[in-house]
């Protein structure tokens, strides 16, 4: 506990837990918006059941001086909305957890045992100011009081937020917030005398988006103007985000009848000069593998966002996992080039999604943005991207009379024309084809076309993004991870307090840059961390980089790693400090 107390002074982990539909989201929205307004760094993640009402879902909101963008198991302040909620997070509750709830409601199913609940009559207080509906605002008020939010900011915000609902509602909300605020201030005095979470004026220019939005915005910046997909958790958010942009951006968003239609539509869109996109989960992607192979054969650009969730089959629809990497890498019959990105930060979600369109277009290949439920649902404040330099340049040519879609070139990539833009004809064929794009059975052309389609892997390797190294190559322990584990492992290493543990975060998983093995030269020990059971990236490292990592850390129960368990794992592998 001692260490915990220390930490706690400059950060707080607040968890809201209740049934689906109970209003957790309202608290979360208000609270995070106010945190931003008041200048606090925060991070939020969700874990939820596959049901629309009932069950037990929780949202974690971390408030901190330094930026911490990862899931912690620790709960400093818990708002359990139901008895079941309490059970749901019971094994995360420690002596230090402050449980704020309505005792009566929480003990209805029997005594809560050794859990000390600070009875907080949200509903009663809310009723005092105008009705039970204001209970959420009371809860927000508690954190506001605890952190001593400037009241003019909070009240102004509430005014704007509830503006349309009229003055009375605004007033009631402000009063509700005051009720909570008082409690918060009292708690601060009693429980958190040393609490000192620094504000950061820089964050006023930050944006707040979750992974789904970051991917969607990256896509838009990459020139995406056609998305066809079929809803599937955890990627529905990307799809609906883009659908909602259609009123402002020049984008067509179509809900397809199935995933097969989705990818075939998107390929058609690229053919006609648009920039097509599909977003789906592993199971939906399974239905796209024939279409993926088609993109390979047609040398059609394609961008696919695959959000992983625990599988096989329907699995745990709303949970997280990194179990589809090998599938994504090898999906589709036959041999053709592809690129797999796996962003591990929201910044990278944005950046790599944008890049994906450029890569896809330049190399005329499918490019994946591989994420997972944890990644798309989490959000935090981060620097507003500077988009001034971006141009989503179309790599298409005006066709001449003798245009050949599959003209042999040194790089393997032929100038891409589109129908109706020039005097030529653009002929695409899923059969093996001639340079003109017409069906052929000529065996020599076959060989040359295979080589043509694979040749671009050389350039792709050269252009491959290097893994991000934090710390020294010469280290006691190299912690290797990809995608959404990046921030978790980063913080775990920081928490370990050891500077002989380094982080190697892969954001491009295929192809790997030629010098990949070099990163592994100096480490005494190396450990590979994956949210799956079979070390899927380990296989990639072995076949692509000749790197063989024996030590692995796995988790595959549907939850992300927590920073704490990651720290424990790493300490165990690193052994005693020399």
Partner 1 sequence: MDVKELEPFPELDIAWCPGCGNFGIRKVLMQALAEMEMDLTRLVLVSGIGQAAKLPHYVKANVFNGLHGRALPPATAIKAANPELTVIVESGDGDMYGEGGNHFMHTIRRNPDITCFVHDNMVYGLTKGQASPTSLEGFKTAMQPSGVILEPFNPLAVAIALDASFVARASISDSEQTKEIMKQAINHKGFALVDIFQPCVTFNKLNTFQWFKDHSYYLEEEYNPRDRVQAFQRALETDKYPLGVFYIGPERPVFEERQMVYTRGTDPLYRRSCSHEVMENLLDAKMGNPPEVLQQR
Footprint on this chain of a second copy (rule: CB under 8 A): 49-50, 55, 260, 281-283, 285-287, 289-290, 292-294, 296-298, 308, 310-317, 319, 321, 323-324, 326-327, 329-336, 429-432, 441, 443-444, 446-447, 450-451, 453-454, 532-534, 539, 542-543, 546, 548, 556-559
Q: Which is nearer to a second copy, 169 or 266 (CB)?
A: 266
As a whole number of angstroms, the distance between CA 35 and CA 29 comes to 10
Q: Which is nearer to partner 1, 217 or 475 (CB)?
A: 217
Best CA proximity match to 486, nearest among 462, 473, 503, 508: 503
Q: List strands edge to edge, sheet with 508-510.
A: 252-255, 226-229, 276-281, 302-308, 366-372, 339-341, 508-510
DSSP state of 439: B
Q: How many CB atoms lie within 10 A of CB 30?
A: 24
Q: Which does 37 bind (CB under 5 to 8 A by kind): ligand TPP, partner 1, a second copy, none?
A: partner 1
Give how far Cα 66 sits from Cα of 6, 367, 488, Å: 14, 34, 14
355 binds partner 1 (CB under 8 A): no
CA distance 100 to 103: 9
- Beta bridge partners, 480, equal 504, 528
> Which of the listed partners (a second copy, partner 1, ligand TPP, none) does 443 bind, with a CB threshold of 5 to 8 Å by partner kind?
a second copy
Query: Which CB sits closer to ligand TPP, 284 or 310?
Result: 284
Residue 161 touches which member of ligand TPP, partner 1, a second copy, none, C-beta under 5-8 Å by kind: partner 1
Q: Which residues of this chain interact with ligand TPP, rule CB under 6 A?
A: 230-232, 259, 283-284, 287, 314
Decide if residue 5 touches partner 1 (CB under 8 A): no
CB nearer to partner 1: pick between 104 and 250: 250
SS3 assignment, position 508: strand
The binder of partner 1 chosen from 47, 254, 299, 544 (CB under 8 A): 254
**Smallest gap from residue 222 Cβ to partner 1 (A):** 8
Please choose which of a second copy, ligand TPP, partner 1, none residue 385 contacts, taking the beta carbon within 5 to 8 angstroms, the exact cut-off set by kind.
Answer: partner 1
Contact 53, 24 (CB under 8 A): no
Which two tokens mark 272? 């006609």
Ramachandran sector of residue 528 (left: φ over 0; alpha: ψ -120 to 50; beta: rest) = beta
Q: State which residue, 100 or 298, has the beta carbon closest to a second copy.
A: 298
| CB of residue 260 to ligand TPP, shortest distance in Å | 10
| Cα gap 122→190, rounded to integer Å | 19
Specify the residue, 28 or 259, whose C-beta has the smaller distance to ligand TPP.
Answer: 259
Is the Cβ of residue 391 or residue 543 nearer to a second copy in the bound state?
A: 543
**Per CB under 8 A, 437 contacts partner 1:** yes
Per CB under 8 A, the segment of 174-182, 187-195, 376-384, 565-573 that binds partner 1 is 376-384
Phi–psi pair at 527, nearest 5 degrees: -130, 140
Q: Residue 250 interacts with partner 1 (CB under 8 A)?
A: yes
User: Which CB sits closer to partner 1, 115 or 243?
Assistant: 243
| H runs (alpha helix) in 162-247 | 167-191, 211-221, 236-245
CB of 244 to partner 1, least distance (A): 5
Query: DSSP per residue over 44-55, as a string?
Result: EEEE--S-SSEE
Report if residue 208 touches partner 1, rule: CB under 8 A: yes
Residue 227 near partner 1 by CB under 8 A: no
Minimum CB distance to a second copy smaller for 116 or for 542 = 542
Q: CB count, 10 Å around CB of 48?
A: 17
**Distance from the first to the final alpha carbon of the chain:** 25
According to DSSP, residue 202 is labeled G
Minimum distance, C-beta of residue 485 to partner 1, in the bound complex (Å)? 24
Q: Cβ 110 to ligand TPP, closest distance in Å?
A: 34
Residues 277-296 that bind partner 1 (CB under 8 A): 283, 290-291, 294
CA–CA distance, 299 with 365 (Å, rounded to integer): 6
Among 59, 69, 228, 508, binds partner 1 (CB under 8 A): 228
Question: Is 256 a residue that touches partner 1 (CB under 8 A)?
Answer: yes
User: Which residues in 15-44 contact partner 1 (CB under 8 A)?
Assistant: 21, 29, 32-33, 36-37
- Beta carbons within 10 angstroms of residue 376's beta carbon: 30
Residue 184 binds which entry of partner 1, a second copy, ligand TPP, none, CB below 5-8 Å type-dependent: none
Structural tokens at position 463: 């252009």
Shortest distance (Å) from residue 170 CB to partner 1: 12
CA distances from 214 to 231, 276, 421 (A): 18, 17, 33
205 cis-preceded (ω within 30 degrees of 0): no
């Amino acid at each position: 506990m001692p260490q915990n107390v220390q930490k706690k002074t400059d950060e707080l982990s607040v968890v809201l837990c209740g049934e689906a539909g109970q209003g957790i989201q309202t608290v979360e929205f208000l609270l995070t918006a106010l945190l931003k307004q008041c200048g606090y760094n925060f991070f939020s993640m969700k874990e939820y059941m596959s049901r629309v009402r009932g069950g037990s879902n929780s949202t974690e909101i971390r408030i901190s001086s330094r930026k911490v963008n990862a899931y912690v198991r620790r709960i400093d302040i818990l708002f359990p909305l139901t008895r079941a909620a309490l059970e749901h997070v019971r094994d995360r509750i420690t002596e230090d957890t402050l449980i704020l709830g309505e005792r009566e409601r929480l003990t209805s199913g029997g005594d809560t045992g050794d859990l000390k609940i600070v009875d907080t009559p949200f509903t009663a207080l809310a009723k005092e100011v105008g009705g039970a509906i204001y209970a959420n605002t009371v809860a927000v008020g508690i954190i506001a009081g605890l952190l001593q939010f400037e009241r003019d900011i909070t009240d102004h915000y509430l005014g704007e937020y509830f503006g349309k609902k009229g003055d009375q509602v605004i007033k009631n909300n402000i009063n509700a917030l005051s009720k909570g605020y008082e409690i918060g201030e009292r708690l601060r005095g009693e429980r958190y005398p040393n609490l000192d979470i620094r504000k950061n004026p820089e964050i006023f220019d930050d944006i707040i988006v979750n992974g789904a939005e970051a991917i969607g915005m990256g896509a838009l910046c990459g020139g995406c103007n056609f998305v066809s997909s079929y809803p599937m958790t955890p990627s529905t958010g990307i799809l609906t985000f883009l659908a909602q942009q259609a009123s402002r951006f020049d984008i067509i968003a179509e809900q397809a009848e199935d995933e097969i239609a989705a990818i075939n539509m998107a390929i058609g869109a690229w053919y006609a000069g648009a920039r097509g996109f599909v977003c789906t989960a592993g199971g939906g992607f399974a239905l796209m593998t024939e279409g993926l192979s088609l993109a390979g054969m047609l040398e059609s650009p394609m961008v696919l966002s695959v959000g992983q969730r625990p599988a096989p089959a329907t699995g745990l629809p709303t949970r997280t996992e990194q179990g589809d990497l090998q599938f994504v890498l090898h999906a589709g019959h036959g041999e053709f080039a592809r690129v797999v990105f796996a962003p591990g930060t929201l910044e990278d979600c944005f950046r790599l999604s944008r890049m994906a369109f450029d890569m896809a277009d330049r190399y005329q290949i499918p490019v994946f943005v591989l994420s997972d439920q944890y990644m798309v649902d989490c959000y935090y404040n981060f620097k507003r991207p500077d988009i001034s330099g971006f141009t989503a340049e179309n790599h298409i040519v005006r066709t001449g009379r003798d245009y050949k879609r599959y003209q042999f070139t040194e790089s393997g990539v032929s100038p891409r024309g589109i129908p109706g833009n020039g005097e030529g004809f653009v002929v695409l064929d899923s059969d093996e084809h001639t340079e003109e794009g017409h069906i052929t059975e000529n065996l020599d052309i076959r060989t040359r076309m295979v080589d043509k389609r694979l040749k671009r892997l050389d350039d792709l390797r050269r252009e491959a993004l290097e893994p991000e190294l934090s710390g020294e190559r010469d280290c006691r322990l190299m912690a290797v991870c990809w995608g959404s584990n990046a921030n978790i492992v980063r913080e775990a290493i920081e928490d370990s307090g050891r500077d002989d543990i380094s982080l190697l975060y892969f954001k491009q998983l295929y192809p790997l840059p030629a010098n990949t093995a070099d990163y592994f030269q100096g480490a005494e020990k190396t450990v590979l961390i994956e949210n799956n059971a079979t070390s899927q990236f380990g296989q990639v490292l072995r076949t692509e980089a000749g790197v063989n990592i024996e030590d692995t850390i796995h988790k595959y129960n549907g939850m992300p790693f927590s920073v704490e368990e990651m720290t424990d794992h790493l300490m165990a592998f690193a052994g005693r400090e020399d």
